[in-house]
Amino acid sequence: MRDTDLLGEWMRKESASPSFSEQLAQSLALVEHVRSRGVVRDDIDIRKHVYMLDAITMGFLVIDQYMPDDFKYSDEEIVEMVTDVVERVFAPSPSSAPPPDEKTKQEISNTVISSLDDILAIRNRIDQEEDTP
């Protein structure tokens, strides 16, 4: 079975789990927060925003297996590419919002880290529940 088949099977199982709605709610809350601070575009429906972000992320996670060796990149380079794509897709146009000040940047950074911690906690709880007979 190919990795994408396994990924598809895992995603179907995962999306049916109770925790999936928790993780999705966390993603929606995070996107709503950064939108309210003017850090990302607000002209895209929030559900489409989450969908697009997940599609971009999933693409970067899956594409490596299909690329020839001379198109392989380090984890650090991949993070830079993901950051670039996300910024280009979701950043508000310069004329629509002033750039955030340092305090806002720090607040957003803390919120993102906290949100990722929450998502990891949900994942860890699920993994522990699955391992418990």
Q: Could you report the per-residue pLDDT of 7-28, keeping only the tens digit for each?
A: 666 566 666 666 778 878 888 9
Tokens of 84: 């670039």
pTM: 0.66
3-state SS assignment for residue 129? helix
The answer on pLDDT for 6 being more than 70 is no
23: closest CA among 127, 104, 131? Answer: 127
The answer on pLDDT for 30 being more than 60 is yes
Number of Cα atoms under 13 Å in the Cβ half of residue 13: 8
Within its chain, how far is the Cα of 26 from the centroid? 11
The pLDDT tens digits of the residues spanning 65-96 come to 899 999 999 988 998 899 899 889 998 877 66
> 106 vs 18, which has greater pLDDT?
106
CB 96 within 8 Å of CB 40: no
What is the DSSP track for 11-72? HHHHHTSHHHHHHHHHHHHHHHHHHHTTSS-SSS-HHHHHHHHHHHHHHHHHGGGGS-GGG-
pLDDT for the residue numbered 11: 62
pLDDT for the residue numbered 4: 61
CB 61 within 8 Å of CB 11: no
